[in-house]
A and B are shown apart, each in its own frame.
Chain A
Amino acid sequence: GAVVSQHPSWVICKSGTSVKIECRSLDFQATTMFWYRQFPKQSLMLMATSNEGSKATYEQGVEKDKFLINHASLTLSTLTVTSAHPEDSSFYICSAVIRTGNPYEQYFGPGTRLTVT
């Protein structure tokens, strides 16, 4: 149980285009989902926290107009990287908290590798 999926698993896009990444909780409802970014050989950095039906809360230094987050339902959150540039290339990981579970336990998706050419 507590499976989180991400789609796509990898994507290549051209500079200036936008790309959408989906994060789904497959067998549970998630009140809160988190989006992280992981650079090679580095740690995960929290980008934003999203709650169903509410605006996302972005961490300091994260451009909310560039990284659009939509948490439209209790099982789906999307991250759209707008006008992507090569420096946006990274591994993006989402996590989710079970609505009826431990609020301090996050379940992570497998990640999406974005390459901007």
Chain B
Amino acid sequence: AQSVTQLDSQVPVFEEAPVELRCNYSSSVSVYLFWYVQYPNQGLQLLLKYLSGSTLVKGINGFEAEFNKSQTSFHLRKPSVHISDTAEYFCAVSQRGFQKLVFGTGTRLLVSP
């Protein structure tokens, strides 16, 4: 079985500052990794995914993440955040070849002026 840990429940940051949202996973088999964003009263939107290939994955809205197999991590980064990035961010994992997603508990990113 897979599990996901997002240690930071909330990350406050000032506008235009860089941010890193941490995600660690546990799995005995190969995995796919995802980051989703949830804006208030909206569904989840896929930011980026790692299925195979390059470990540095670029997504929408200037976000990127790096898959680190040895550290079982998939941290999300953005070099300069905007007020509009304020949202809940979920990391998710699935076993390679399977569709079932296991989500972390989410990290609320709060961007202030």
Contact = CB atoms under 8 A, between A and B. Distances in A.
Interface of A: 4, 6, 32, 34, 41-46, 49, 93, 95, 97, 103-111
B32 A104 contact: yes
B46 interface: yes
A45 B91 CA distance: 13
B94 interface: yes
A44 B90 contact: yes
A32 B44 contact: no
Nearest to B36: A108
B88 to A, nearest CB: 10
Given A43-B103, A49-B99, A97-B99, A111 B43 contact: yes
Contacts of A45: 103
Interface residues of B, number: 22
B44 A108 contact: yes
A106 B105 CA distance: 18
B44 to A, nearest CB: 4
Contact of A108 (B9, B43, B49): B43
A75 to B, nearest CB: 16
A45, A106, A111 — most chain B CB neighbours (10 Å): A106
Nearest to B44: A108
Nearest to B96: A104
Given A32-B99, A44-B90, A46-B101, A105 B46 contact: yes
B43 A104 contact: no
28 contacts: A4-B43, A41-B105, A42-B105, A43-B90, A43-B103, A43-B104, A43-B106, A44-B44, A44-B101, A44-B103, A46-B101, A49-B99, A93-B43, A93-B44, A97-B99, A104-B32, A104-B49, A104-B51, A104-B94, A106-B46, A106-B99, A107-B46, A108-B44, A108-B45, A109-B43, A110-B41, A110-B42, A111-B43
